[in-house]
Amino acid sequence: MKNSSKMPAVNGKISIAPSILSADLCHLGKDVARVASAGADWLHVDIMDGHFVPNLSFGPALVRSLKANTDLPLDVHLMVTNPRNFIEPFAAAGADLLTIHAESQDDTIQTLKAIADLGVKTGVSIKPDTNPAVLKPLTDYIDLVLVMTVYPGFGGQAFLESSPAQIRSVRQIIQASGKQIWLEVDGGINAKTAPLAIQAGADALVAGHAIFSSADPELALKQIRQANPEI
């Protein structure tokens, strides 16, 4: 049975996906409900295999539980060496978007096709040191590009100064493709760095600590969106 993705098409507004890596896992349901009521657009779920990045995180069971308890689209980021081993379990669990890394070992285009065949939206992520040109052959197969503005693996890192230039390069590749592709940015996003990412071309932002640690998540979301005059 195919997944039925709830991920929206690019809509000209800034979407924010709080990362549950920064949530209180003992009170995850409460934290998710809190950010949803505050106006979050998606929920970002980082999956790490302890090999592609030096950390372990969540499995399909958590995604299945989230799917049953929130209406937010589930933006699932596979930081894994062999994503082909993970896409079917996470699609079955309810992922609305599966993002794989251009640096992973499996054939990227074939993996993206397999994700699409499962009825799930497709994404490709690049690390801070990866040349954005790797995305050019992929634009026919993706719904989203995720630009990492920290080195992936752990939450709470600082936004890299080199990031705006990379975001601008990715935006140029998307524009040249003529496709409607989300440009998402993840890493060190807060009220100070969000304008840098948005002005460089981002239209979706992943933020963890800045939202989940805030006493007022609604205010935190508004502050992160502040560089977009339409919000």
Residues forming the active site: 46, 186
Which strands form 144-148's sheet, in the order they lie side by side? 15-18, 204-207, 182-186, 144-148, 121-126, 97-101, 74-79, 43-48
Instruction: Give the closest residue to 222 by CA, choosing from 83, 39, 42.
Output: 39
Provide the β-strand partners of residue 99. Answer: 77, 123
- Residue pair 101/67 in contact by the 8 Å Cβ criterion: no
Structure-token match 């779920």, residue found: 45
Contact between residue 145 and residue 134 where contact means Cβ atoms under 8 Å apart: no
